[in-house]
Amino acid sequence: MNKEGKYKVILIEPSEIIATGIAAIINGNPKFCVAQTLNEPSYYNSNDTDVDIVIINPTVVDYNDRLDIRSWLGVGNTALVALTHSNYEESVLRQYDECIGIYDNAARIVQKLKNAIDENNKNPKNDLNELSSREKDILAAVAMGKTNKEIADEFNISIYTVISHRRNISQKLGINSIPGLTVYAIMNKLVDISDFS
Amino acid sequence: MNQTTSIYNRRMKMADLVASDMSLLSILHRLDIALGFGEATVAEVCAQHNISADLFLMICNIYSFRDYSPQIETLTDDDIRSITTYLRASHRFYSTICFPTLHNNIHKMVKELDDVSRRLIDKFYDDYDNEVTSHFQYEEEVVFPYIEDLLSKGQNGNSEYRISLFEHNHGNVNEKLNDLSNIIIKYLNKDYASQLRFEILGEIHYISNDLMKHSNIENKLLVPLVEKIEKRYE
């Protein structure tokens, strides 16, 4: 929440027309304010902890990352809302607290933002401290000594995404060096010690 | 923190200085300044031990205040020699006292662990130990002799070496210690060696803090001073 007691919203949407429109609708409501509009997710700062809702267009994220959007963005327990121009698989949308369509009217959009806050409070999606299954896979690959490039190729994601996963993993574990991550991965049986000669 | 706001000065009692920040004791130890200085001032004790009080106070300030940046203009060539002597003594202190004690305790701790964890942590620590040792070795065999040559022969000699090539890799060294401490705090089974683990964490905390000051002395004092001398002969 910001100083005036409004819910703070970050909007990630590449289309300026749509971003401006949605922001105008949200700012028109006394309970919400759009603190920032970003046209791509790499500008999103996950350390900004007083953000209440992140609204993101799922197309701005590579296909493989959409399935683990929370840890990819590093949103932790912030409410997450999809802004969709078209249809998505259920497995993609399931990770969001709500889903706004571009044909929703103003009242419906505001209602959905309220739902998202409620939904998120009731049911925090992803414990900030636990590694997601995607992160565990990536960590295992790091422990095996694979480079970022090799990991990107293996998981079919961009190097930027690998780096972002690695940053989140180190933040959660408090372990930064590769040997340290390897110790963690073996002790937690993410990789087998017999894989190392 | 700059010099004007520093609480340390040459006229204060050495005993008061140490009492204000006990971590300064390790500086005295490395400079071979024995305790028992009674009411002697900082200036008097430094004079007895042939070390410049200005330099001594700068080192103390670096230890006590993270954002302190020293005014190196007043320092002399002899002060540079004192800094390398200090750094060598500091290496000796780590490698003959701190690391063997830590190693010993870690070795005792892992004895109680399962086979896999024991091998992992032993190897992690040994790799870390080798890395630090070779870093110290590099400084003593390459960096310090280069500086001594520069000061005594008054030239860079035939050597292509420049102080700018000096790697500041103490940061990485602390990264591993920090990882080790988190592994011990968070991820070792809570049934193992709990008393010893507290001791080890205290030791790691002390060493990583001290290593950081050590590398600040290199980065804030030694490197800029040597760069100044290099310019003199260019």
Q: pLDDT tens digits, residue range B163-220?
A: 877 765 555 668 999 999 999 999 887 777 788 999 999 999 999 999 999 999 998 9
Burial class (CB in 10 A: 0-12, 13-18, 19+), B88: middle
Q: Does B176 touch chain A (CB under 8 A)?
A: yes
Q: B215: closest CA among B102, B124, B77, B91?
A: B91
Residue of A nearest to B183 (CA): A184
CB B39 within 8 Å of CB B13:
yes
How many angstroms away from the CA of B195 is the closest CA of chain A? 21
Rg from Cα positions in chain B: 20
Q: What is the rounded CA–CA span in Å between residue A106 and residue A115?
A: 14
Low-confidence stretches of chain B (pLDDT < 50) are: 1-4
Check residue B4 and give its pLDDT: 44
CB B143 within 8 Å of CB B150:
no
Task: Kindly determine whether residue B179 and residue A180, on different chains, have CB atoms separated by under 8 Å.
Answer: yes
Q: What is the rounded CA–CA span in Å between residue A34 and residue A81?
A: 13
Q: A1: closest CA among A43, A44, A49?
A: A49
Angle of helix B77-93 versus helix B53-64 axis, rounded to 10: 50
pLDDT band of residue A46 (cuts 50, 70, 90) is confident
Q: Tell me which DSSP letter residue B143 carries.
A: I
| B positions 103-142 inside 8 Å of A (CB) | 116-117, 119-121, 124, 127-128
DSSP E strands: which ranges in B116-188?
A: none
| Positive or negative torsion for Cα B69, B75, B77, B82 | negative
Check residue B3 and give its pLDDT: 44
Does A56 have pLDDT greater than 80?
Answer: yes
pTM for the whole structure: 0.71
Interface test with A, best of B117, B120, B180 (most A CBs within 10 A): B120
Check residue B168 and give its pLDDT: 59
Q: Does B182 touch chain A (CB under 8 A)?
A: yes
Check residue B170 and give its pLDDT: 56
Q: B222: closest CA among B33, B90, B42, B32?
A: B90
| Secondary structure of B77-121 as H, E, C letters | HHHHHHHHHHHHHHHHHHHHHHHHHHHHHHHHHHHCCCHHHHHHH
Task: Kindly determine whether residue B187 and residue A174, on different chains, have CB atoms separated by under 8 Å.
Answer: no
Which residues in chain A are closer than 8 Å to B190, comparing Cβ atoms? Answer: none
Question: Which among A175, A176, A186 has the least Cβ separation from residue B120?
Answer: A186
Does A37 have pLDDT greater than 50?
Answer: yes
Rounded average pLDDT over A84-112: 88
Q: What is the pLDDT of residues A69-85, one digit of tens each?
A: 887 787 777 899 999 98
Which residues, in sequence order, are CB contacts of B185 under 8 Å at separation 6+? B201
Query: What number of C-beta contacts closer than 8 Å exist between A and B?
Result: 47
Which residues in chain B are closer than 8 Å to A174, comparing Cβ atoms? Answer: 178-179, 182, 186
Which residues, in sequence order, are CB contacts of A182 under 8 Å at separation 6+? A142, A143, A191, B120
Check residue A126 and give its pLDDT: 52
Check residue A60 and give its pLDDT: 87
CA distances from B38 to A76, B8, B16, B63 (A): 58, 18, 10, 23
pLDDT band of residue A93 (cuts 50, 70, 90) is confident
- The single-letter code of the amino acid at B123 is K
Q: Tell me which DSSP letter residue A56 carries.
A: E
Which residues, in sequence order, are CB contacts of A112 under 8 Å at separation 6+? A81, A98, A99, A100, A104
Does A143 have pLDDT greater than 90?
Answer: yes
Does A32 have pLDDT greater than 90?
Answer: yes
Check residue A89 and give its pLDDT: 80
Query: How many Cβ atoms from other residues are within 10 Å of residue A51's Cβ?
Result: 22
Can you list the domains of chain A with their CATH numbers?
A: 7-122 (3.40.50.2300), 133-195 (1.10.10.10)
Which residues in chain A are closer than 8 Å to B184, comparing Cβ atoms? Answer: none
How many angstroms away from the CA of A152 is the closest CA of chain B? 25
Does A160 have pLDDT greater than 50?
Answer: yes
